[in-house]
A and B are shown apart, each in its own frame.
Chain A
Amino acid sequence: MRITVNGRSLEAMPGWSVGDLVRSRTEEQRRVAVARNGEVVPRGQWDSTPLAEGDLIEVLAPVAGG
């Protein structure tokens, strides 16, 4: 299953959820936000949201900024 995460195409494990993907990226999940195909995936729905072929995912975290 090909998906794009933060601009990079990758092969996702079958059956993976948004939550699985986030946990594979970071140990610090506090203050992380996820967009899937242009919509916010609320934290409470990460584990119940399966990844699908062609998904465009953005996994974002805080930075200092003006």
Chain B
Amino acid sequence: MDQLMIAGEKFESRLVLGTGGLPSLDVLDKVIHCSGTEMVTVALRRIEASTSGPLLSVLERCRVRLLPNTAGCMTAREAVLTAKLAREAFETSWVKLEVIGDEHTLLPDPVELLDAAEQLVADGFTVLPYTNDDPIMARRLADIGCAAVMPLGSPIGSGLGIRNPHNIALIREAVSVPVVLDAGIGTASDAALAMELGCDAVLLATAVTRAHDPELMATAMRDAVSAGRLAYRAGRIPRRWHAQASTQVSGLPEL
């Protein structure tokens, strides 16, 4: 079987689903089911703003692994404390580590991210950092013990797809831990491209949760990730400048 392995855990599905952005939690279990995902991201907020009751019952029914995030954190200190609170709340030491540099682009702050990742790895966390599409930064994060690296395709929620496919392929070459394309996926072809570039998995939320029909898009993403992975393993043909006939030339009659 072609399974995904992260920190010794096996996954049949290579799609990680973010739960944010759905108009209603009523469709969350259907979306999870259609996507085939085995791991979904969740967050912590002040209890007055929480929807924990219905959310947790859906997630428990779906039997998916929870991956808490540190969304909204802008410093290493905030992110480390949020990860520790999430460990307490969700009883998991896995964390999607996000440390953003500003609220306009939501791009990662690499200096704070590396600092937070080092502290959390030292504290025994399984750290999956959301990072820029920078092969050097990805290597640094892998070197300090992150369980995976999660480069962005383009800014969170932008749906702009993969702006620098070359860097994503370079990241795949640069690290031995799983590479999870995180953020920027707009539609199924973006997810397929991520997998064709050699990514081990795709993490997406908005593309599904804000689609006109989230269940249908979840199904499309499941198939796109699967197709992209198969194409990567099959090996694409080299690109050629000129045409190459697929029907043999020998035996061509003179008419």
Q: In whole Å, how far is B83's beta carbon from the nearest beta carbon of chain A?
A: 10
Supposing A63-B42, A65-B18, A66-B41 touch, asked if A32 and B89 sit within 8 A by C-beta, the answer is yes
A14 CB-CB contact with B under 8 Å:
no
* Chain A residues within an 8 Å CB radius of B51: 62-64
B158 CB-CB contact with A under 8 Å:
no
* Chain B residues within an 8 Å CB radius of A60: 44-47, 50, 85, 89
Give the docked Cα–Cα distance between A7 and B21 (Å): 25
Interface size on A, residues (CB 8 A): 25
**Chain B: interface residue count, which band?**
35 or more
Interface residues of B in 74-127 (CB under 8 A from A): 77, 81, 84-86, 88-90
User: What 0/1 pattern do residues 158 to 179 of B give for CB contact below 8 A with A?
Assistant: 0000000000000000000000
Supposing A33-B85, A43-B88 touch, asked if A62 and B52 sit within 8 A by C-beta, the answer is yes
B217 CB-CB contact with A under 8 Å:
no
Once the chains bind, are A31 and B89 in contact (CB under 8 Å)? yes
Supposing A65-B19, A66-B69 touch, asked if A35 and B81 sit within 8 A by C-beta, the answer is yes
Once the chains bind, are B50 and A62 in contact (CB under 8 Å)? yes
Once the chains bind, are A6 and B46 in contact (CB under 8 Å)? yes
* Chain B residues within an 8 Å CB radius of A7: 46
Once the chains bind, are A66 and B50 in contact (CB under 8 Å)? no
Q: CB < 8 Å: which of B41, B42, B44, B71 contacts A33? A: B44
* Chain A residues within an 8 Å CB radius of B43: 62-66
Q: Provide a sorted-by-A list of 28 A–B residue pairs whose CB atoms are within 8 angstroms.
A: A6-B46, A28-B53, A30-B56, A31-B56, A31-B90, A33-B85, A38-B81, A40-B84, A43-B88, A60-B45, A60-B50, A60-B85, A61-B47, A61-B50, A61-B52, A63-B50, A63-B51, A64-B42, A64-B43, A64-B55, A65-B18, A65-B20, A65-B43, A65-B71, A66-B20, A66-B43, A66-B69, A66-B157
Residues of A within 8 A of B (CB): 6-7, 25-26, 28, 30-35, 38-40, 42-43, 58-66
Residues of B within 8 A of A (CB): 18-22, 25, 28, 41-53, 55-56, 69, 71, 77, 81, 84-86, 88-90, 156-157, 205-206
